[in-house]
Amino acid sequence: MGWLRRLFQKPLTEKRLDSELRFHLEQRVRDYVASGMNPEEARRRANLAFGGLEQVKQDCREARKESHVEDFLRDLQYALRSLAKDRRFALIAIFALALGIGATTVMFSVIYNVVFDPFPYRDFQHSVVFEMRDLASTGGKGEGARDHYTIPEFLAIRQQNHVFEDIVGNYQLNVLYSDGKGTRRFLGGYTTANGFDFLGVPPILGRVFSPEDVKQDAPLVFMMNYRLWQTEFNGDLKILGKAFFLNGKSRTLVGIMPQRFNGYGSSLWFPLGFYPRDLLARGHAEWHRDPQRRLAG
């Protein structure tokens, strides 16, 4: 950081530079005198060899890093003085810069989110969609495909799985929320305990479901998405850990997902434990993953 010290100690730096250059100049004069030249000719030849003491000083200054900083500060000072003289031009310039920077930021954000990172999920580039077809009953045409499975089918697939690293099940249902003033309906869903760990997106508040949440006697909990949190609760941080009356039961909010998360297409999520209290609708195995690929149905 020697250049920074030189920047704030310019008089001392100039004094040292002048002393050093004069030392080398006098050394050159002595060398010429020692070779047989008279003192006047020796000094003239030394000055010619150096190319001028002030010119050498300027070359030394330009080679230093602090010179670029000084040039920048002088240009900035000049720009500020120019803007101060014409405030209308200054306002137009600032507005144009703000507009350009904002437009560029939005453009690159959209490009990044759409092209480079369209899905915020872990290892999503290895995901594929699969479905079941009964070729025997359709004459080999493969008609009547489905990607929804009953709860027993899903349990059988998960139990007999020897290919995929993980299998997640979920199903959607309408959720009625009662707050004492009225009742509103939202699109919700049951999700197996590994559903959010599978996608690899951490919540912005709280936690995701754990195996403890799907035990038969576990307290009833739920999670919500970012949009519902903002539109219905104005982004209130204090609602985490509070109980809400959902579908006739009291459930505690344990987590809120980030804005870009839209997994499972619901606003609210309940943990799916495959107990009678959870099996309220027809379920389907929707996401699967193996070490090389992740499958979605």
CA gap 167, 159 in Å, rounded: 10
Residue type for position 271:
P
Residue type for position 73:
L
Residue with tokens 């703000």, as numbered in its chain = 98
Q: pLDDT averaged over consecutive 10-residue blocks of the chain (297 residues)?
A: 54 71 76 81 76 67 63 76 77 84 77 58 65 64 67 83 82 89 91 88 93 90 95 93 94 93 88 67 41 39
DSSP line for 27-82: HHHHHHHHTT--HHHHHHHHHHHHT-HHHHHHHHHHHSHHHHHHHHHHHHHHHHHH
Instruction: Judge if pTM exceeds 0.85.
Output: no
Output the pLDDT for position 224: 96
